Chain A
Amino acid sequence: MSKRLSTGGRLIDRSRRIGFSFNGKPLAGHPGDTLASALLANDQMMVGRSFKYHRPRGIVASGVEEPNALVNMGEGKRFEPNQRATTTELFDGLTARSQNHWPSLDFDIGGINKHLSRLLPAGFYYKMFMYPRAFWKSVYEPFIRQSAGLGQAPTERDADSYEHFYAFADVLVIGGGVAGLLAARHAADTGARVLVLEQTAHWGGRSPVDGGTVDGSPVAQFIDETVSALEQMPNVTLRRRCMGAGVYDHGYVLGYERLTDHLPYAQGPRHRLWRIRAKQIVTATGAIERPLSFAGNDIPGVMLASAMRDYAVDYAVSPGERVVVATNNDDGYRTAICLRNAGVNVLRVLDARSAGGGALMDDARALGIRVDPGRGIAKVGGGKRVQSVQICAQDGVGGALEALKCDAVAMSGGWSPVVHLWSHCGGKLLWDEAQAHFRPDPEHPPLGADGNGFVRAAGASNGALALCDTLADATEAGKAAAKAAGFRRRNTRAPVGEAVSERPLEAVWLMPQQADVGLRSKSWLDFQNDVKVSDVQLAAREGFESVEHTKRYTTLGMATDQGKLSNINGLAVLSDALGQPIPATGTTTFRPPYTPISMGAIAGEARDEVFQPIRRTPIHDWHDAHGADWEPVGQWRRPYAFRRGSESAHDAVIREVRNTREAVGLLDASTLGKLIVKGPDAGRFLDMLYTNMMSTLKPGRCRYGLMCNENGFLMDDGVVARIDEDTFLCHTTTGGAEHIHAHMEEWLQTEWWDWQVYVANVTEQHAQIGVVGPMARKLLDKIGGMDLSAEALPFMAWADGRIGGFDARVYRISFSGELSYEIAVPASQGLAFWKLLISAGAEFGIMPYGTEALHVMRAEKGFIMIGDETDGTVIPQDLGLDWAISGKKEDYIGKRAQARSHMADPDRWKLVGLETTDGSVLPDGAYAVGEGVNANGQKVTQGRVTSTYYSPTLDRGIAMGLVLHGPDRMGEEITFPCTDGKTYSARIVDPVFYDKDGEKQNV
């Protein structure tokens, strides 16, 4: 059994005990424990089941590479699935549940899959679920959905908050082990601004566990001194619990800082996403030990040798009482020695190398540990826990020489540098034959904006596995990074580490080397996704030669751990099956993030109130207090309708339309864009921008204009007012101000830069209020201050003045067909002016109206709406707006495009009005069908609805639509079969339904 040792534990505080629960069972641990170490201390070796076969799985690793120990963490608003027990710091009250089993971890029905494993080979899903097609929806998908996915999705809102932080560094060091700290120290000594990220809660990485000396002192002491020195330097920022998640173009790096995962009730954000720009980056990300591929290597109790060492030294946890170590390199002996020194019975070291190891082997033997060279594990016995191993010759087929009863197995297959961050942005790798791993190729680093490399690997992540090599490598990396960032190299010395004489590793990709198929099909490569040696070999036999294809076919490396343990072993097996060297097979692509990061961290502050900007007019709060139903228009919020009491929105719209047509309505039109265009060439410029002639507009007058893009398509419309000889004010649609402003600037800056025109966006300077309806003039006369008679201010004119004591600009323009004034006042007084109109208008029956009433009234008048009648493929000619296209102008933006043959095609659908024969309301977007079918067997269409409303004025449904030869088919009936199951019949009519002669607006 695994248990807490009576002494030791570098990281735990034995003086305090804290409570937590696992699958509802109350357990205890110490501050400083990880969830994994605390579980092991409570003999909870089995922590979950595998994804495909639901095999029992135990803790394999001690860090981010852990594939098995994923738990559902927390409850309610703080529930989160797939949390790694090995990187979860224990806190009082932590609750965790294991995943992938039903009904319980110990008894799992899905485990039956393991007995079917011969029927579930690689590519099973692809092969099995392909045919018959009809089965997909009713049978296969429900089955897969039920069994797929790790953990559970949270059901409640996340109680925590998150944030981003933009940081800048000359030298960013990723990894706070001995290499990272040393590189940081040497970079910082030059004066460079240095930022160091360490993913765990502790500095020093593996070195305090692995030991060794630096300049004659213990490495742990060197780390403490280096951290203290760095903390004193004003140009250095040190962050723990902050993982370098990804390296991107031009030195952009994401850091994922976990602030309160270990302090769940602390104030402040839970995670912070660091968005870093670094001139130079040092990746000091260490190395990860590889498992060995032998039968039963997934049984709980089989662990990485280095992880066993970590648990023993850091947490005083012994993974078992009788341990067997299997290794192909000298590092495995460190675990044997460490455990032996901790009082654990180490039964045997099985060294796959026929000549055994170097000095460390001698040390182990001196401690009385038996070492068997040339031996390996044929098979591990046990189900939910290791019970025995069968020992075999490594170079054989797996014939058992001896069986040993034991309860834990340590495996060491050598070390692979963590090259992820080096590789994210294009750094290339070298195959290091001697150490049997890929490491960064210094000749091919990721390239920055200046064309030079901006990433350096240091220490173990660079293949410098021995402490003495790491010290020299990291010193040089730190110095070189600072120099590349523009700082003067200082003549500082690299510390010296003691050299240990090690015997070279011998690559072992399968144990034993000639293992038969029975053993190979129990030798796991990817623990989380249940991929075995035999699966990869099958893929190769079936012709999957590319490592990327094999990955997807077998799902090797596609689990949440992204193959941190399995990738190298898997591609070695693939290479062997293909009969080619490993570098010829290559690696799969390393993609960020290095380990999964929370969705909350990615979103940062962008949730709830500040999920996205909501633009508010100066009158917004009044609307809110007076029953407004809101409609989003771009980022603006506009009142859709103002509901009174229990009134429905539909009834409110009817009331607002009638009141505006019969008395007076008030519209908050502040959202309409307002652009000032000024300069000697302003008229000429607007002639190019609008389809009609603007340069002939007289000061004091207004003109409706259409704006097209260079493709000829209608993009915006609005009323232009000429302020003076040099100055125009262009109204745009709501939400159009910014992009039309940008459109103008683009042409002025990039095409006609010699024209003298300036543009300013003054949209928000004014609150603009529409006073609309037959009583509008009476109301404004009552407030007083300006002569707004038909003579003084005729239709399509504007004037400056004072109304009711407010500085105002009044436009006599109408989008409703009624007598209408749009009045602009300073935004700071917009609400006061609105309130004045509301109170003074009471006697005239004034009511505010919203966007839906606005739409209904404009449709009754046959006015088009950008975004309804237009969709980016419609030209003004389609809409019968030829009257607004100047024939006199040589050029305007879009003119040439409108001359293209298909733009002039008489078969283009054209705007008409549509009147249902029974008065009902046509569904929006409905298509009219014609005779016959098209090449796909679908009914031929001949038109579609672009706007459709119930018209309170006419008490019937009215619509506008684009119809084939529409204007030539007045009176004809066409049919619209709709998705509501009904077929509508509508008559083609003139799009102007109300006051065709425009008498009402021109009074």
Chain B
Amino acid sequence: MSEPVSALQDASHDGIVAVREDGLQGMITLRGDLSAAAVGSAIKDVAGLAVPEGGRISGDRTGGLCWMSPDELLLLCPHEDADANVERLQQGVKDTHSLVVNVSDARALFRVSGPAAREVMAKLCPVDFSPDAFTPGMFRRTRMAQVPAALWMSDDGTFHIICFRSVAEYVFGLLKVASQPGSEVGAF
């Protein structure tokens, strides 16, 4: 057994925002009937949280639930806890049609922070990131330039972005270009 490593090993870049690869993150996909009692209680048992409403996230990186689709949640937890949590979730939902799988290593997580964070994101995603339209607690799956991404804000100046591990370098490159000095937009 060796130390697991994230895609870019915590690479960082400072431009008009701070861009960080946020290291290893536990992520578990759960597919099932989100309104089923067994699913709700298994989730509650493992994550300590209720199933979030559509388009929202509850909790945070250390323990969170992201609404991915009407029959899919993404559970966030410490990377080292993911396998154990998969087991517990599987046990909890074993009598109902469902799929629980560890996807921690299939993904990379980035953090974009600073007063210009909304602007930098708005250069890459076809999403309204104005303060009235996008607020902490919302969870959005979209595209970031040419690849799929999922994102949320933990506070007004901080975005967290999930992408596939294989394109981590591409996403990091996008964020570097979008945060180049002198590229402030001043639109929000």
A–B contact via C-beta, under 8 angstroms: yes
The digit string for A663-675, where 1 denotes a CB below 8 A from any CB of B, is 0000000000000
B101 x A760 contact (CB < 8 A)? yes
- Given the complex of chains A and B, what is the CA–CA distance between A678 and B124 in angstroms? 35
Cross-chain contact of B123 among A165, A614, A616, A833 (Cβ < 8 A):
A165
Residue B125 at the A interface, CB < 8 A?
yes
Cross-chain contact of A763 among B106, B119, B177 (Cβ < 8 A):
B106
Residue B146 at the A interface, CB < 8 A?
yes
Residue A606 at the B interface, CB < 8 A?
yes
- Given the complex of chains A and B, what is the CA–CA distance between A165 and B128 in angstroms? 10
B167 x A615 contact (CB < 8 A)? yes
- Given the complex of chains A and B, what is the CA–CA distance between A616 and B32 in angstroms? 31
Within 8 A of A (CB), among B77-103: 79, 97-99, 101-103
B123 x A268 contact (CB < 8 A)? no
A163-B178, A266-B182, A764-B164 as given contacts; A758 in contact with B4, CB under 8 Å:
no
Give the interface segment out of B35-43, B56-64, B168-176: B168-176
CB contacts (< 8 Å) of B147 on chain A: these are 613
Residue A805 at the B interface, CB < 8 A?
yes
Q: Which of B122, B166, B173, B184 has the most CB of A within 10 A?
A: B166
- Given the complex of chains A and B, what is the CA–CA distance between A759 and B178 in angstroms? 34
- Given the complex of chains A and B, what is the CA–CA distance between A266 and B184 in angstroms? 13
The digit string for A398-428, where 1 denotes a CB below 8 A from any CB of B, is 0000000000000000000000000000000
Chain A facing B: main interface SS: mixed
Give the interface segment out of A459-467, A508-516, A822-830, A938-946: A822-830
CB contacts (< 8 Å) of B127 on chain A: these are 166
The digit string for B156-188, where 1 denotes a CB below 8 A from any CB of A, is 000000001111111001100110111111010
Residue B141 at the A interface, CB < 8 A?
no
A269 x B126 contact (CB < 8 A)? no
- Given the complex of chains A and B, what is the CA–CA distance between A269 and B178 in angstroms? 9
The digit string for A433-474, where 1 denotes a CB below 8 A from any CB of B, is 000000000000000000000000000000000000000000
Question: What's the least CB distance linking B52 to chain A, in Å?
Answer: 19
Residue of A nearest to B163 (CB): A613
The digit string for A263-285, where 1 denotes a CB below 8 A from any CB of B, is 00011110010010100000000
Cross-chain contact of B99 among A165, A678, A832 (Cβ < 8 A):
A678
CB contacts (< 8 Å) of A760 on chain B: these are 29, 31, 99, 101, 103
Contact size range, B:
35 or more
Cross-chain contact of B1 among A272, A275, A806 (Cβ < 8 A):
A806
The digit string for B122-149, where 1 denotes a CB below 8 A from any CB of A, is 1111111110110000000000011100
CB contacts (< 8 Å) of B3 on chain A: these are 832
Residue B20 at the A interface, CB < 8 A?
no
The digit string for A829-872, where 1 denotes a CB below 8 A from any CB of B, is 10111001000000000000000000000000000000000000
B4 x A829 contact (CB < 8 A)? yes
- Given the complex of chains A and B, what is the CA–CA distance between A611 and B134 in angstroms? 28
A163-B177, A166-B125, A613-B147 as given contacts; A676 in contact with B103, CB under 8 Å:
no
Residue A766 at the B interface, CB < 8 A?
yes
Cross-chain contact of B105 among A275, A676, A679, A826 (Cβ < 8 A):
A826
B99 x A161 contact (CB < 8 A)? no
Cross-chain contact of A268 among B31, B165, B173, B180 (Cβ < 8 A):
B180
A618-B165, A679-B97, A679-B99 as given contacts; A167 in contact with B187, CB under 8 Å:
yes
Q: Which 7 A-B pairs have the closest CB atoms?
A: A268-B182, A267-B182, A828-B4, A615-B166, A827-B105, A832-B2, A764-B106
Known pairs A166-B126, A676-B99; list 10 more (Cβ under 8 Å): A269-B183, A605-B145, A609-B170, A616-B169, A679-B99, A758-B32, A759-B99, A764-B164, A828-B105, A829-B4
Q: Which residues of B contact A (CB under 8 A)?
A: 1-7, 24, 29, 31-32, 71, 79, 97-99, 101-107, 119, 122-130, 132-133, 145-147, 164-170, 173-174, 177-178, 180-185, 187
15 A-B pairs, CB-CB below 8 angstroms? A165-B122, A166-B127, A167-B187, A168-B128, A268-B182, A277-B128, A605-B177, A605-B178, A606-B145, A612-B146, A615-B164, A635-B167, A680-B97, A765-B106, A805-B1
